A and B are shown apart, each in its own frame.
Chain A
Amino acid sequence: MKPFSIECLEPDSGPPSPVEVRLVGFLDAHTVVSFEKTMAELQERQYTKFIILISGLTYISSAGIGVLMVLLQQLHRRQGNMVIVQPTEKVHKILDLLGFTKIFQIMDDIDTARQALD
């Protein structure tokens, strides 16, 4: 079981170019705290376009879904957006069973995600 980690890859040009956020491990009621803080920090640096890469995420709870929804709402309010990239089969299935694949933009690769955010 991989521990939770967040890696942020900021573009050389800074905002409004999108920032990549790579999540590894699990996003549950415990780890969402650090995720929320990191997302707030990125928004304070004026990023409004987020690519959330979750190929390394093995689990997401309702708390994780909730913080992603809040992030989406916050970005939309600032005329920004976010795209989720490469969910694992398990995570994708959970999102699909609950109906969130109709809410979140989910892409297979980062390049497609960048195009969606242009």
Chain B
Amino acid sequence: MSTYVPPTVEPLRFDLACPCEKRSLAVLRRFIAGVAHDAGFTGDDLHMIEMAVDEACANAFIHAYRLADEDTERGDDAGRRRGINLNLELQTDGLTIRIKDYGTVGDPDDLKGVESVQDYLRSDRERYDGLGILIMKQFMDEVEFRTDPDAGTQVTMRKFQHKPRSSEHPDARGDSSRVDQPVHSREKTS
């Protein structure tokens, strides 16, 4: 008796060139939510994917491209004109999202996010920022940052279907980070 081996299914890939404008974030969220839904994600997983992608894109706009607000844009004009690239792979076991910017990194010491929500809350802050990377790490199953100071940063995030997670609901006490293998880490959050 022969054993049936199903054919290998190639991932479905999408490449999206996104303008470096914060008003595009809403469109990107709708796009990624639609793709994630078609990939089989629902409920909390869907919301988490949407938010993680939003945070990564906003991070690129604000920190890689120094996009403060529409009235006071400054910084990396050449990189900003290239926008960001959003690459999606729908695989049988989940979704891989790559977000690439072409901005330059300023002072690396300025690019530190928070390690936990308690860290975020504990600090005496005038601005509450630094939460975005923590959100990416907590909401996605795998997060990887690769930064080239002259060529930008790529964030790769993965969400698996039915993968058991070590902590399903991170609390205010913080939790362990997901897989994170930075070559050079950009730790600034939106």
Chain A contact residues, CB within 8 Å of chain B: 1, 26, 28-30, 33, 59, 61-63, 65-67, 69-70, 73, 90, 93-94, 96-100, 102-103
Contacts and interface: CB of A to CB of B under 8 A. Distances in A.
Contact of B131 (A1, A30, A62, A90): A62
B55 A66 contact: no
Contacts of A94: 47, 51
Contacts of A1: 26, 30
Given A66-B131, A97-B44, A99-B117, A61 B172 contact: no
Interface residues of B, number: 37
Contacts of B169: 96-97
Contact of B58 (A29, A96, A98): A29
A98 B170 contact: yes
Nearest to A68: B128
Nearest to B139: A97
Nearest 6 A/B pairs, CB to CB: A99-B172, A30-B22, A66-B128, A62-B131, A69-B128, A29-B58
24 contacts: A1-B26, A28-B25, A28-B29, A28-B58, A29-B54, A29-B58, A30-B26, A61-B132, A61-B190, A62-B132, A62-B135, A63-B58, A63-B190, A65-B128, A65-B131, A66-B127, A70-B127, A73-B125, A93-B47, A97-B139, A98-B131, A98-B138, A98-B172, A103-B121
Tell me the interface secondary structure of chain B in the complex.
helix
Contacts, number: 89
B122 to A, nearest CB: 12
B61 interface: yes
Interface string B115-143: 00100010001111101100100110000
